[in-house]
Structure 1
Amino acid sequence: MTTATTDTIAPSSTPARHLWRRSRGPLLALLLLVVTGLILTALQSGERYGRLDPRSADRTGSRALAQLLAAQGVTTQVVTTSEEAAAASGPDTTLLVTDPDLLTTRQLTGLRTATAHTSGRIVLLAPGPIALKAFTPGVTTASQADNTARRPACSLPAARRAGDALLGGRRYVAPDGTADRCYLSGGLPTLLRLPAPDAGRDTVLLGSPDFLYNHRLAERGNASLALQLLGAHKHLIWYLPSLSDPASSDPASAQDDQRGFLDLIPSGWSWGLLQLAFAAVFAALWRARRLGPLVPERLPVTVPAAETTEGHARLYEQANARDRASAVLRAATRTRLAPLIGVPPAHAHTPDILLPAVQAHSTTAPAAEDGLHALLFGPAPAEDKALVQLADQLDELEISIVSQERHAPREHPDR
C-alpha cells in the first residue's frame, strides 16, 4: 500500500519541482526589479521640485538665489503657465523664463505682447531660434560653447561689477550695434543684453543657466551677476514652463507651432554624431586587430566522409543547385576514370582526349560520341529526377570500366 501511494505522488511532484527550477530565475529577477523600483521610489519621494526651481535646495535648484534676492527686498513669484506669467508681468518687474524652448509660438507671442509696453526686464535662459524670433527678431544662435569661467569683456555695469562668471552654452549673433555683448566665446557673446525699445523692457539672453544653480552660486562672480540681472526690479516673476501647461496642448497653438524634427535637436547634435562615427570606426579597428590568418586546428572528433558528402548534398538540395551538384558529380567521375584508362590527370577534363579513351575501354558507354559527351560534359539537369538519372548513369559507366580493368588478363612478372 505504501508503494502504491509513492507511485501516485511521485509523477505529480517531479513536474512541480522541474517547473520551480525553470521559473525561479525569472521570478527572482522580477522580485529584484520590484524591490529596486520601491527603493528608488522611496528615495525620490521627497523631491518635489525640479531644475532651476527657486523652492528647490538640490544641486540644480535655485533656492539659494531666491533667498539672496529676498534679503535684498526682491519678491519672487513662481508661475507655471503662460497666462499666469503674462498676468503677473506688470510694470517694474523682471520676467525670468527658465526654458523658453518648451513654449509654443502662441505662448511666446502672448508673453511678448503682454510685456511689450511695460517697464522692466525679460531674462531668457538658453533660448532657441523659435523663442528668439518671438522676443528678439534679428538675433540668431551659433554653435554652443563650453561652460567655463569667462571675463566680462563688455561695458555692461552688472557684468563689470561681477567680474569672472560661469558662462557658456549658446552663443548669439545680434545685428544691433547698441546691444551689450558680454562673456565672449570665439568672438560671440554668451550673455547678450538688448536695450529696452520705447521705454519698454530690456531683454537679457543667457547661453547657459549653470551659474544660477545652488552648487555654482558661490563660485567666482556668479552670485553677483545673478543678483544684478534678476534683482534690477523689486518684483521677480519666475516662470517654470512645463508640458502640463493647458496652453501648450491647445489645438490652435499646435497648428501655429511649426517646429520641425531638427528644431527639437540641440545645436551640438552634429558634433555628437561625428563623435559616435569616430567611436564606431575605432571600435571596428579594435575588433579587426583580433582577426588574423587561418590557423589549422585538429578537431576533437573525426567526421566520416559520408556525413560530409551527405551534408553537401542536402545544402545543394535546399538551394536547388542542380547545376553545381551535376558539375561535382561529373568532375569526380572524370577524375576517377582518367588513371584507369591511361589519361594523364592534366587532361582528365579535356573532352577531345578523355572521350575517345572512355569509348575504347567501356562496354556500356553510349555508342554515339555525342551521348558520351552529354553524359560527362553535358548541361545541368532541369529537375531532380534527371539529376538522379545522371548520377546512376555515371555510376554505371564507372563500374563498367572498373570491372573491366579488374578482370583484364595480366602478364605474370616471371614470364
Structure 2
Amino acid sequence: MTVSAAVSTTSESLTFQQVWRRVRGVLLAVLILVVAGVAFAAVRSGSQHGRLDPRSADPYGSRALAELLEERGVSVDVVTTSDEAAGATGPDTTLLVTGPDTLTAYQQRRLHDATARSAGRTVLVSPGDSSVARLAPGVDPQKRGPVTARAPRCDLSAARTAGVADMGGVHYATDAPGATACYPDDELASLLVLPGRGAGDTVLLGSPDILHNERLDQQGNASLGLQLLGSRPHLVWYLPSLDDPSAAEGGNGGTDSRDGAGGEEAGGQSDFISLVPPGWLWGTLQLALAAVLAAVWRGRRFGPLVTEQLPVAIRASESTEGRARLYRRADARDRAAAALRAGTRNRISPLLGVSARDADSPAVLLPAVAARLSTPDSAPYALLFGPAPADDAALVLLTDQLDALEREVRTS
C-alpha cells in the first residue's frame, strides 16, 4: 500500500483536460489560418477574378478593355468550351483564345479547322510549342523575352497607329508568305499576323500584358488592343475551362492516329500547376509560409548547456522528485534504474574500503559486498549491475532491494 501511494503521487499521466489546455491555442491558430487561406483562395479564384477575364476588374483582368470595345459597338461574348468557340467563328467575328497551350490536341485541331473556314480573325495569346504547330502551322516559337516598351517597326496599320507598346514574351519566326512581324527583338516578332482565308487572319500575341487592366493606360497598349480585337463587330472571348467536356474527346488526352506518337500529343497538355487558378496557388503559398513561421515560433531551440545561479534554493527532495517525474514521463526506467544503482554503489563503496574509481567495477565491488552479506548465496550482481526493470513495479521492487542491501552493508 505504501509503494502504491508513492507511485500515484508522482504520476505525470496527463488528463484530457490538461492536453486540451496545452494544444487548444495552437489548434485555434491553425484553424484560423486554414479558414483564412481557403477564403482568400476562393475569392481570388472566383469566375469573376481570373487572368484575362473580361468581367474581372483585377490588375490582371481585362474588364477595362472589354468595356472600351463595347462602347465602340463591339459585342463581347465570353465562352468557356471549345464547342462554343468553334461554333461562334465567322467572317464578322474575332476569336480571342486566352490559353491556347491549355487546350488538348483534339481541341486545338477542331478550333483550327473552324477558324480556317471562317474568314474571321483569330487572336492567340502567348501560344507556345504545344499549340503553335496546330493553331498556326509554319510558325516557330524561338525564345522568350522581357515585356518592355517596344516600337512596332512594321507596316501593320494597327501597330503603326498604336506606336510604342508593352510587348515581349514569346518571340516567333516564320517563312509563311504574307506574314507581318511587329515589335521585334533580334529580328524575332512578338506580334505576328498570318494571312488566312479571304479577309481572315491569325494574330499571335507574344504577351498578354497589353490586355491587362493595369497596363491598358500605358504606352499605346489600349490603341493596339482595341484595333486587334475590335476589327470585327463581334468578339468571342474564349477562356478555356477544366470543365470543358471536349477535353476528354479524341482518345486519351485528345490523341488519335493523325498525330503519330503519343509523345507529341502529350505536348498539347498543360501541366497541373499551370491549370490551377492563381488564387489557390497564392493561398497555398501563404498557408505554407504560415506553417513554417508557426513551426519556428513553437519549435525548441537547442543550444549548448550553460550554468546559471538559481534565484532560489531548491531542496534535494524536490529536485529528486522532479527528475523522477521526468523519467516517468519519458518512460525511462533504464535511466532511473541506472541512477539508483550508481547512487547505491557510490554510497557503499567507502564503507567497503573500495575506491570511487573501482565503484563501477563488478570484479572489485562484488567480492567486497558479498563478504559483508549475512546470506552467502545472495546475488548482489543482479541488484548492482543487472538489466533494466521491465515495468514500474519491477523498478519499485529494485528500489526497495537496493535500500535493503545498503542498510545491511551499513549495519554489518
Name the TM-score class by shorter chain: 0.5 to 0.7
Name the CA shift for 1:144/1:391 in 2 (closer, same or farther; >3 Å): farther
Is structure 2 residue 149 aligned with structure 1 residue 149? yes
> Which residue does 1:367 correspond to in 2?
376
* SS of equivalent residue, structure 2 residue 95: strand
Which of 354, 365, 371 is matched with 2:365 structurally? 354
> Which residue does 2:165 correspond to in 1?
165
- Map Cα deviations across residues 36-87 of structure 1 (whole Å, 9 max, x no partner): x9xxx9xxxxx9898756688887445557647975xx74453535445434
Which of 330, 340, 344 is matched with 1:329 structurally? 340
Which of 394, 402, 409 is matched with 1:394 structurally? 402
CA-CA distance at 1:123 after TM superposition: 0.6
Residue identity opposite 1:229 in structure 2: L
Residue identity opposite 2:387 in structure 1: P
- Give the Cα separation in 2 of the matches to 1:53 and 1:134: 24
Q: How does 1:73-152 map to 2 (within 5 A)?
A: 75-80=74-79, 82-91=82-91, 93-100=93-100, 106-127=106-127, 131-137=131-137, 146-152=146-152
Task: Decide whether the 8 Å contact of 2:62 with 2:212 is kept in 1.
Answer: yes
* SS of equivalent residue, structure 1 residue 379: coil
Residue identity opposite 1:206 in structure 2: L
Task: Decide whether the 8 Å contact of 1:108 with 1:134 is kept in 2.
Answer: yes
CA-CA distance at 1:142 after TM superposition: 7.8
Q: How does 1:14-413 map to 2 (within 5 A)?
A: 60-63=61-64, 67=68, 75-80=74-79, 82-91=82-91, 93-100=93-100, 106-127=106-127, 131-137=131-137, 146-152=146-152, 158-160=158-160, 162-168=162-168, 170-172=169-171, 174=173, 176=175, 180-183=180-183, 191-193=190-192, 195-196=194-195, 201-213=200-212, 216-231=215-230, 233-241=231-239, 243=241, 248=245, 252=249, 256=253, 259=269, 261-262=271-272, 264=274, 293-297=304-308, 303-314=314-325, 316=327, 321-360=332-371, 362-364=372-374, 366-367=375-376, 371-382=379-390, 384-404=392-412
Task: Decide whether the 8 Å contact of 1:106 with 1:253 is kept in 2.
Answer: yes
- Map Cα deviations across residues 113-132 of structure 1 (whole Å, 9 max, x no partner): 11113434311223466544
CA-CA distance at 1:346 after TM superposition: 2.0
Structure 1: state its 5+ residue gaps: 1-25, 27-32, 42-46, 405-415
- Map Cα deviations across residues 209-246 of structure 1 (whole Å, 9 max, x no partner): 33234553342222343344335x4444232436498x
Structure 2: state its 5+ residue gaps: 1-27, 29-34, 255-265
Give the number of the structure whose alpha-carbon radius of gyration is greater: 1
Residue identity opposite 1:219 in structure 2: Q
- Give the Cα separation in 2 of the matches to 1:348 and 1:95: 93
What fraction of aligned residue pairs are identical, expressed as a percent? 45
Q: CA RMSD in A?
A: 5.0
Q: How many residues align?
A: 343
CA-CA distance at 1:338 after TM superposition: 1.9
- Give the Cα separation in 2 of the matches to 1:87 and 1:308: 84
The structure showing larger relative contact order (alpha-carbon pairs under 8 Å, at least 6 residues apart) is 2
Name the CA shift for 1:379/1:75 in 2 (closer, same or farther; >3 Å): closer
Name the CA shift for 1:313/1:165 in 2 (closer, same or farther; >3 Å): same
Residue identity opposite 1:262 in structure 2: F
- Give the Cα separation in 2 of the matches to 1:363 and 1:283: 62
* SS of equivalent residue, structure 2 residue 117: coil
Name the CA shift for 1:396/1:171 in 2 (closer, same or farther; >3 Å): same
Name the CA shift for 1:87/1:297 in 2 (closer, same or farther; >3 Å): same
- Map Cα deviations across residues 266-308 of structure 1 (whole Å, 9 max, x no partner): 8x9xxx9xx99xx99x989x999x9865554555665543344
